[in-house]
């Protein structure tokens, strides 16, 4: 179905004049779409008025948008200088070049300052307010609970290489793609990106040097009940908040620390409130990427093929850049951020029967096809790949 036929689009999407969402700019119509033009919820712009609005946009940006037949927006919670943002922008630039400027996608950082952060970005993409989203895996666990929780298995992943082996598995890709259909999402397994092994941060006290010290630690985590239940089995007191409230929680003393990949320290300025970096490596973190299905189906097959053909380059470059950045930030933390680096001994975690049972319950809730993959992650079978 062409994008202009979607009632969600008529209700929730604005045109370029609104400056907030996707718009198909129909300049005379195309063979793969009907001739209706998307307007905002008040009206539909005529070709004349569409031209007028586009003509008001100056500079190179105006030239690019007037050349485009589709103008869309891709959300990420990362900042301008993070590898994910950089490589997503390069990816869409390559796509734009190969479609001769007809497909124009803009990457919006920090989830466009949406109060609900990744979760609201996912909602906005599902209903057509935005066209694509790249968000941390754990936030999907409450939306696609038979798939995404495989990305929340604590103290199971040995490295991001093991994560790459998982998301490159055809079974994972097939199940992920199927899971998006009820939510009007087309997941692109090849655009599953690397956020890296997660670490914790804290102030002077309390901190963590061994498994027993997890007991009673107040830890800010993303909104994921699967993470919450596993951590509670270790005696941690989780505080679930969107990433947009991360710094507020730490500044107000509502949590003793937080957990994220090392790159978040620089992106969010975590070192300004926490002075200890605890290399727990408790979870590998992925970015999942999904495109609104109405958007995807509005594109001709030639565009879809171009997008798919560029995914490998996107994934390879982003993966390497993110891994290098995370390693550098840990090494540079004392000098660059004034943070003490602690490498705790957490071997006892996997001997904790309550924790193992909680993690097993996460596996039990997965799609039957993913359960063998989850057990391979836990057993370390993917690590050698």
Query: Homologous superfamily of 197-285+335-379 in CATH?
Result: Bacterial extracellular solute-binding protein, family 7 (3.40.190.170)
**Torsion angle of C-alpha atoms 246, 327, 236, 374, degrees rounded to 10:** 110
CATH number, domain 3-196+286-324: 3.40.190.170
CATH 3.40.190.170 segments of the chain: 3-196+286-324, 197-285+335-379
Distance CA 346, CA 330 (A): 18
Going by C-alpha positions, the residue among 142, 112, 109, 134 that lies closest to residue 190 is 134
DSSP string, 209-271: SBGGGGTT-EEEE-S-HHHHHHHHHTT-EEEE--GGGHHHHHHTTS-SEEEE-THHHHHHTGG
Residues ≥6 apart with Cβ < 8 Å to 151: 137, 138, 140, 141, 284, 285, 286, 288
pLDDT digits (tens, 9 = 90+) for 14-68: 333 333 334 444 333 333 333 333 333 224 678 888 889 999 999 999 999 999 9
H or E element, residue 75: strand 70-76
pLDDT digits (tens, 9 = 90+) for 251-302: 999 999 999 999 999 989 999 999 999 999 999 999 999 999 999 999 999 9
H or E element, residue 188: none
pLDDT digits (tens, 9 = 90+) for 140-155: 988 999 999 999 999 9
Which pLDDT value is given to residue 288? 97
Distance CA 27, CA 67 (A): 10
pLDDT reading at 7 higher than 70: no
Least confident of 46-50, 136-140, 312-316, 361-365: 46-50
Residues ≥6 apart with Cβ < 8 Å to 290: 122, 125, 132, 133, 180, 185, 186, 187, 188
Q: pTM for the full model?
A: 0.86
Provide the pairing of β-strand 199-202 with 237-240: unpaired
pLDDT digits (tens, 9 = 90+) for 78-102: 999 999 999 999 999 999 999 999 9
């Amino acid at each position: 179905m062409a994008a202009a036929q979607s009632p969600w689009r008529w209700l929730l999407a604005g045109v370029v004049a609104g400056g907030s969402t996707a718009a198909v700019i129909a300049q005379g119509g195309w063979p793969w779409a009907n001739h209706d033009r998307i307007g905002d919820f008040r009206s539909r712009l005529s070709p004349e008025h569409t031209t007028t609005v586009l003509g008001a946009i100056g500079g190179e940006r105006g030239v690019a948008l007037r050349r485009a037949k589709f103008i869309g927006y891709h959300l990420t919670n990362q900042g301008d200088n993070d590898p994910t943002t950089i490589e997503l922008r390069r990816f869409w630039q390559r796509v734009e070049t190969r479609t001769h400027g007809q497909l124009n996608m803009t990457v919006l950082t920090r989830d466009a300052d949406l109060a609900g952060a990744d979760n609201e970005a996912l909602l906005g993409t599902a209903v057509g307010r935005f066209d694509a989203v790249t968000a941390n895996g754990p936030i999907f666990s409450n939306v696609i609970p038979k798939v995404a929780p495989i990305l929340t298995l604590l103290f199971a992943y040995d490295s991001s290489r093991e994560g790459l082996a998982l998301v490159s598995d055809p079974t994972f890709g097939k199940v992920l793609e199927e899971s998006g259909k009820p939510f009007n999402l087309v997941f692109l397994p090849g655009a599953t990106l690397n956020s890296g092994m997660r670490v914790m941060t804290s102030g002077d006290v309390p901190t963590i040097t061994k498994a027993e010290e997890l007991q009673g630690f107040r830890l800010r985590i993303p909104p994921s009940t699967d993470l919450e239940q596993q951590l509670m089995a270790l005696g941690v007191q989780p505080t679930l908040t969107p990433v947009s409230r991360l710094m507020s929680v730490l500044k107000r003393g509502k949590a003793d620390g937080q957990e994220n990949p090392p790159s978040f320290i620089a992106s969010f300025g975590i070192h300004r409130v926490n002075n200890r970096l605890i290399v727990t490596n408790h979870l590998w973190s992925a970015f999942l990427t999904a495109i609104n299905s109405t958007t995807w189906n509005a594109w001709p097959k030639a565009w879809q093929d171009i997008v798919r053909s560029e995914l490998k380059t996107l994934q390879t470059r982003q993966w390497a850049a993110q891994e290098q950045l995370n390693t550098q930030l840990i090494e540079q933390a004392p000098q660059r951020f004034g943070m003490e680096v602690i490498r705790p001994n957490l071997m006892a975690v996997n001997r904790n029967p309550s924790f193992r049972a909680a993690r097993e319950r996460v596996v039990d809730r997965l799609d039957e096809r993913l359960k063998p993959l989850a057990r391979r992650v836990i057993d370390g079978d993917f690590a050698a790949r």
